[in-house]
C-alpha cells in the first residue's frame, strides 16, 4: 500500500504547524507537528503508541527536520526528543491516518 521511496519534498510551516510531503507520484500528504510527534518512530514511543499510552502531553513544535536519504527522516522537537528515524513508508501511513495499522504490521 505504501512505498519506501523518499518524498520529493518535505516542508514545515511554523505558522500552521503543518508538515507537508510531496511524494514521487506527485500526491501530497500533510500532518501536524503534534500528530507527527505522537507517532514518534523511536522504539520506546512505538511501543507506547501500540499499547495506547500517550507519547506527549502537550503541543510540540518542530525545531528541525533532516532527510536521511532512502531511510527516512529524523525530527528534533521542542521537547528535545530526537530519537528514531521515520521511514518513508511510515510517514505515508501517518499522513493517511493509518499509523497504528502500519505499526501492527
Q: What is the CATH number of the domain that holds 43?
A: 3.30.2020.30
User: Does 69 fall in a domain?
Assistant: yes
User: Does 15 fall in a domain?
Assistant: yes
56-69 pLDDT, tens digit each: 766 689 999 999 99
Average pLDDT, the chain: 90
pLDDT over threshold 80, residue 4:
yes
User: Does 97 fall in a domain?
Assistant: yes
User: Does 1 fall in a domain?
Assistant: no
Which is more confidently placed, 21 or 55?
A: 21
Q: What is the mean pLDDT of residues 17-45?
A: 92
pLDDT over threshold 90, residue 98:
yes
User: Does 90 fall in a domain?
Assistant: yes
pLDDT over threshold 90, residue 86:
yes
Residue 21: its pLDDT value, please?
97
The span from the CA of 22 to the CA of 99, in Å, is 18
For the chain, the domain total comes to 1
Rounded alpha-carbon distances, angstroms, from residue 79 to 10, 45, 66: 21, 14, 17
With pLDDT > 70 as the criterion, what percentage of the chain qualifies?
97
User: Does 4 fall in a domain?
Assistant: no
Domain that holds residue 56: 9-104
- The model's confidence at residue 73, banded by pLDDT at 50, 70 and 90, is very high
Whole-model pTM over 0.75: yes
Long-range contacts formed by 36-41: CB under 8 A, 24+ apart = 36/62, 36/75, 36/86, 36/94, 37/75, 37/77, 37/79, 37/81, 39/90, 39/94, 39/99, 40/81, 40/83, 40/84, 41/72, 41/84, 41/85, 41/86, 41/87, 41/90
Amino acid at each position: 500500500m505504501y512505498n519506501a521511496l523518499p518524498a520529493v519534498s518535505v516542508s514545515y510551516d511554523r505558522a500552521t504547524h503543518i508538515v507537508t510531503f510531496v511524494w514521487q507520484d506527485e500526491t501530497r500528504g500533510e500532518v501536524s507537528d503534534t500528530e507527527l510527534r505522537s507517532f514518534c518512530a523511536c522504539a520506546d514511543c512505538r511501543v507506547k503508541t501500540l499499547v495506547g499510552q500517550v507519547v506527549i502531553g502537550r503541543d510540540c513544535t518542530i525545531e528541525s527536520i533532516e532527510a536521511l536519504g532512502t531511510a527516512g527522516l529524523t525530527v528534533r522537537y521542542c521537547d528535545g526528543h530526537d530519537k528514531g528515524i521515520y521511514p518513508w513508508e511510515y510517514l505515508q501511513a501517518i499522513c493517511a491516518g493509518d499509523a497504528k495499522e502500519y505499526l501492527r504490521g
